[in-house]
Amino acid sequence: MPTLFDPVKAGDLDLANRIVMAPLTRNRSPDAIPKPMTATYYEQRATAGLLITEATAVSHQGQGYSDVPGLYGTEQLDGWKKVTDAVHAKGGKIVVQLWHVGRISHVDLQPDGGKPVAPSAITAKAKTVLIKDGQATFVETSEPRALDASELPGIVHTFAAAARNAVETAGFDGVEIHAANGYLLDQFLKRDSNVRTDDYGGSIENRARFTLEVTRAVTDAIGGGKTGIRLSPVTPANDAHDEHPQALFEYVVQQLAPLHLAYIHVIEGATGGPRELDDRPFDYEALKAAYRTAGGKGAWMVNNGYDKPMAETAVKEGDDLIAFGRPFIANPDLVRRIRENAPWNEVDKATMYGGGEHGYIDYPTLD
């Protein structure tokens, strides 16, 4: 019977254990450039079987929050190379999460102050973060404009180019495509944010087209074994909703199966909230079965509110990887704490977004 501390293979990634650090936005990269303390932050947590970085924009247009990192400039790639070198020196594995926020943005963050882009010109009932005078402030997202179909191949290309740069230049072990939490790819998937009438709207097949095009382009660029994807079938985060998520996401994973991905990363329930939603029932075992039946062999990663007993049960019942989010913020040595049944530090919510070293790299370890 496998345990959390047994090694596991996810595509091309040989992982020392089954505990994953989930992507966590921290807003500490001014000018979209990871700083030296970013390398310290990830190095401290390198005992995880896999580190997934904070969401990282594939283009300036893809930015949606102040001081989040990017993958589209030389200085950004140089900053990330210091991070991957530090993690690898500790024997860790790290992938970068590729991000385009779509409509979850603000004109202050867009090139030339333009409107954010989206499948359809529908403003999200959501907020983003602007940092002014060193203070993080939540503000309403700006009205987006609908993308023309002719623009979509360019965005697909930015994902592929970012993936190639991440692996070949910045030294990442792979990438995770962010198709969750109400950001651009998820906006195309879900009917409430996608009312298009062209080949990218309407039917499930059409709404899934863009996500699948991005994923195929990334796997063509770096190989399926170095590519993961994150999905959130029912989270209400960032005003995301679809009336028929089961059929939608079973179709998506069936189409992903032939791409030989490293893993599928599934957020169960509301991101950072309840694992079960009365108004949005979902059968995650059926989702996994749909993927396996279609021939998908990637590792199955589950996420949202897991503690040690839940994680142990999930692994025994067939899930391959368990992602922990906020606990990794406050516990650099979370893997050891889980192994030794040691108490977990509490997260200081006041220092989660923006700031400096305090609340970032100064949480105490057991030592």
Catalytic residues: 183
In Å, how far are 106, 143, 280 from 274, measured between CA atoms? Answer: 28, 29, 11
Strands 135-140 and 127-132: antiparallel
Residue 266's nearest CA partner among 319, 316, 217, 337 is 319
Q: What is the DSSP string of 289-347?
A: HHHHHTT--SEEEEESS--HHHHHHHHHTT--EEEE-HHHHH-TTHHHHHHHTPPPPPP
Reduce the DSSP state of residue 21 to 3 states and report it: strand
Q: What is the DSSP string of 37-101?
A: HHHHHHHHTTTSSEEEEEEEESSSTT--STT--BSSSHHHHHHHHHHHHHHHHTT--EEEEEE--
Cα–Cα dist 187/239, whole Å = 9
Cα–Cα dist 310/194, whole Å = 35
Name the token pair of 79: 């900053």
Residue 98's nearest CA partner among 150, 62, 147, 152 is 62
Cα–Cα dist 107/74, whole Å = 24
Residue 65's nearest CA partner among 19, 99, 18 is 99
